[in-house]
Each structure stands twice: as structure tokens, then as C-alpha cells.
Copies of this chain bind each other. A is one copy, B any other.
Amino acid sequence: MTEAPETPQDPPPYFRAHVFVCCNRRPDGHRRGSCAARGSEALRDYMKVRTKELGLKGVRVNQSGCLDRCEFGPALVIYPEGVWYSPKTREDVDAILQAHLVEGGRAPDLMLTERDVPPPKA
């Protein structure tokens, strides 16, 4: 029996849901703005607290560097689904937590779509 070292069985998922909240901050006045300038840091903090309070097991919320969807920020992405959201308020964060992470559905009004792409580079 030969081994296939390049295609082992992957380990089971380490987190059920892994959320990355862009906390990149660009200088004030940058043409693209940035998620931190749009308030992402406070929303990340709130999401971490609420995730814990809700007792959501296997869910990890992390900050990340620039996710390159600055114009539509604050941007976050939930893996392994690869679903993106843009929460502007704590209520938006609550809606994402409830719909996506508690109920396993979506919060469609807060989702980014394939049309939300950065403009061409200047």
C-alpha cells in the first residue's frame, strides 16, 4: 500500500466558525478610508463580548489586517462559509450573531455581495 503524503485526511475543523473583523487603519483622508476609521475596532470588541455572553461554542472572533474591501467597511468575513458582512452598528452585530451563528442562516441585508468590489487603482 503506497502512501499519498500530499493528500492526507484533513484534521477536523478547529473552530466551527471563524470570524475575522478588519481592523486596518489608514491615515485620515486616505481615498479608500479604512475599516478602523469606520468604527470596526469597537464593533470587534462588542462582537467578542457578545459571542462569549451568548455561549457560542467553537466560534472565534479575531481582528485581521486589511481585507481589501475598505469602501464597504467595516468588513468582516465568516469562515469556512466565506460569507462577508458589513455591520455599521452594535445592532447589526447582534443581527449577524443571531442569524448566522446562532440560527445557522444569514443576515442578508448586511451581507456584502460580488458587486462590492474596490474601484480600479488610481
Q: Which partner residue on chain B sits nearest A78 by CB separation?
A: B79
CA distance A14 to B114 in the complex (A): 7
Q: How many chain copies?
A: 2
Restricting to A101-120, which residues have a CB under 8 Å from any CB of B?
103, 105-106, 108, 111-114
CA distance A113 to B12 in the complex (A): 8
CA distance A108 to B10 in the complex (A): 9
**Cβ contacts under 8 Å, A65 to chain B:** 62-64
CA distance A99 to B6 in the complex (A): 8
Binding site for B on A (CB under 8 A): 5-8, 10-15, 18, 20, 60, 62-69, 77, 79-84, 99, 103, 105-106, 108, 111-114
